[in-house]
Structure 1
Amino acid sequence: MESTRVDRWLWAVRLTKTRSDAADACRGGHVRVNDRPAKAATTVVPGDEVRARVGNVTRVVEVVRVIQKRVGAAEAAACLIDRTPKPPPEALVPVARRERGAGRPTKRERRVLDRFREQGS
């Protein structure tokens, strides 16, 4: 059975931009293989589940095929099954809108808008 390093696989299937980014993610504890923390040299085989935090999103993927070199996007997509859960729909936040042609907000309206914006942050 074929296997490869997890940092190399993450880079090859285009989950990270560079291999050093993948290695840094492993070093930082952002990559798990089969629910175990993974070092960059951890091997992956078909059937393994890889969790990697890429940016602000935690991607959950299953290894279908092991590849060593970076390939085209279509071929890379065939090497994994994306099991990332869908993000929850954000609560409907009312959007402050002014009527068209209403002109500039008054000082009072501007204060209300500022308070509204501070609550959303």
Structure 2
Amino acid sequence: METAQRIDKWLWHARVTKSRSLAQKLAISGHVRVNREKIDAASKQVRIGDVLTIALERRVLVLRILGIGTRRGPAVEAQLLYEDLSPALPPKTDAVREEGARDPGTGRPTKRDRRQIDALRRGED
């Protein structure tokens, strides 16, 4: 049984990234820390018990390695490789909307609305 594995391979086996080349780019770009130390090589060896901090586009993952993967299996198998220590996301409320979300009815005008707008522009009632 393996005791260590390349970080890019582990990220791919744990399904953090969709491909191994994306895992390599993530590791090289400096968005991954192993035990609080920033890494800059995809060949960095990780072991069971290491804590990874991964800065993704919209969130930060904190994962403790529980196992070394031998293959990229289904998601259920991949979740056995780590313990998620990420901070909990704040609950969404109706008062706080996602950026770019609109209130119902404020999107594109309907066909009826469009006719009324055109009539107003022409000066009709």
TM-score, normalized by the shorter chain, greater than 0.5: yes
What is the 5 A alignment of 1:1-121? 2-38=3-39, 39-89=41-91, 92-93=95-96, 96=103
- Equivalent residues of 1:15, 1:54 under 8 A apart: no
Post-superposition CA distance 1:8-61 (Å, at most 9, x none) = 000001010001111111111111110011221111111000111233221111
Normalising to structure 1: TM-score of the pair? 0.72
Could you tell me which amino acid in structure 1 is paired with residue 15 of structure 2? Answer: R
SS at match of 2:61: strand
Q: Distance in 2 between matches of 1:61 and 1:88?
A: 19
Q: TM-score, normalised by structure 2?
A: 0.70
CA distance 1:42–1:89, shift in 2 (3 Å): same
* Gap change, CA 1:28 and 1:97, over 3 Å in 2: same
Identify the range of structure 1 (68-77 vs 5-14) with the bigger mean alpha-carbon deviation: 68-77
Deviations 1:52-100 (A, max 9, x none): 12332211110000114212211111111011111234572387567xx
Match for residue 118 of structure 1?
A: none
Aligned residues: 103
2:20 and 2:58 mapped to 1: Cα distance? 18
Separation in 2 of the partners of 1:47 and 1:69? 19
The ranges of structure 1 where at least 4 consecutive aligned residues each deviate by more than 3 angstroms after the TM superposition are 93-98
Unaligned ranges ≥5, structure 1: 108-121
**Alpha carbons of 1:97 and 1:56: their partners in 2 closer, same or farther (altered >3 Å)?**
closer
